[in-house]
Structure 1
Amino acid sequence: MAQDRFEELVETFEFLDDWEDRYRHVIEMGKAFPPLEDALKVEATKVEGCASQVWLHPRIEGQGATATFDFAGESDAMIVRGLIAILHELYAGLSVEEVTKVDARAELARLGLNEHLSSQRSNGLRAMVERIRATAATTAAT
């Protein structure tokens, strides 16, 4: 169910020979990801459970299960900004109903992230995925 953009990312990661190259690519993705407006860095958009400061601001067009999901985000850690960019590739443009059906753990495993992120980063990534899924589920139910 992954987006075409995410499939391209998987192909890029398969092309990169070692984790250090992949790690650099994640950081480059973070640098390229648009910053979040300061006005949106508020308690309501802050993701708890991350070692770094993380904010995710949903942008949903439409209503109910067919509403289109997108989000903006930022972190004070460059690798985490890269993880936000990866999640954007995975989820942006899906309907909120589709977002709730994505097996993020399996999709991210295709990038080899599970083996190389610290437990703190893994917990933060899981917290971001949970926030995205909860936002989508709430929208789908309305």
Structure 2
Amino acid sequence: MAQDEFDEIAETFDFLDDWEERYRHVIELGRELPEMDEALKVPANKVNGCASQVWLFPRIEDGRFDFMGDSDAMIVRGLIAVLHALYAGRPLAEVPGVDASGALKRLGLDEHLSSQRSNGLRAMVERIRLVAAQALDGGDA
């Protein structure tokens, strides 16, 4: 499930020699991300705190968390794909407890992203956690 996909990304990162190759891999992950319907790119799904345009549309089915995401920046689309690998398919109750910071450190992203990209990535993680917490509390997702 989600952890297996993330582990695969981490193993690929370990195999790649330098950060230029790793950035290219992140961009490739972004290219492989399914397209998000333009109708979902509304203010309610926009993630504030990102330098680029970012939208996340959460879906919860059968108690499992998933989301669609998109950005106008390819590297950010790749970061969305990394987060998707980390979170998608997890039981809803697990989502708020995922150590996203630790996982991203495992990839070395904490050291190699600009401060704007790091802030945007944190904003996406916070949005995911908030949505999951609201759904667990019985609120709107």
Scaled by the length of structure 1, the TM-score of the pair is 0.94
User: What residue ranges of structure 1 are gaps of 5+ in the alignment?
Assistant: none
CA distance in 1, matches of 2:118, 2:92: 24
Separation in structure 2 between the aligned mates of residue 78 and residue 27 of structure 1, nearest angstrom: 6
- 1:95 CA displacement: 1.1
Shift of 1:141: 1.7
Q: In the aligned structure 2, how far is the partner of 1:121 from the partner of 1:48?
A: 12
Structure 2: which 5+ residue stretches go unaligned? none
Q: Is 2:80 the counterpart of 1:78?
A: no
CA distance in 1, matches of 2:92, 2:127: 13
Return the alpha-carbon distance in structure 1 between the equivalents of residues 38 and 112 of structure 2. 31
Secondary structure of 2:85's counterpart equals helix
| Aligned position for 1:100 | 96
CA distance in 2, matches of 1:85, 1:98: 19
Distance 1:140 1:22 in 2: 35
Runs of 4+ in 1 over 3 A off after TM superposition: none
TM-score, with normalisation over the residues of structure 2?
A: 0.95
1:39-58 matches, within 5 Å, as: 39-58=39-58
Amino acid at match of 2:86: L
Shift of residue 35, structure 1, vs aligned partner? 1.3
Question: Which amino acid in 1 is paired with 2:79?
Answer: L
In 1, the alpha carbon distance for the partners of 2:15 and 2:96 equals 29
CA offsets, 1:31-79, max 9 Å, x none? 11011100000000000000000000001113xxxx1000000000000
Identity %: 69
* Alpha-carbon separation, structure 2, partners of 1:44 and 1:26: 26
1:91 to 2:87 alignment: yes
Offset at 1:96?
A: 1.4
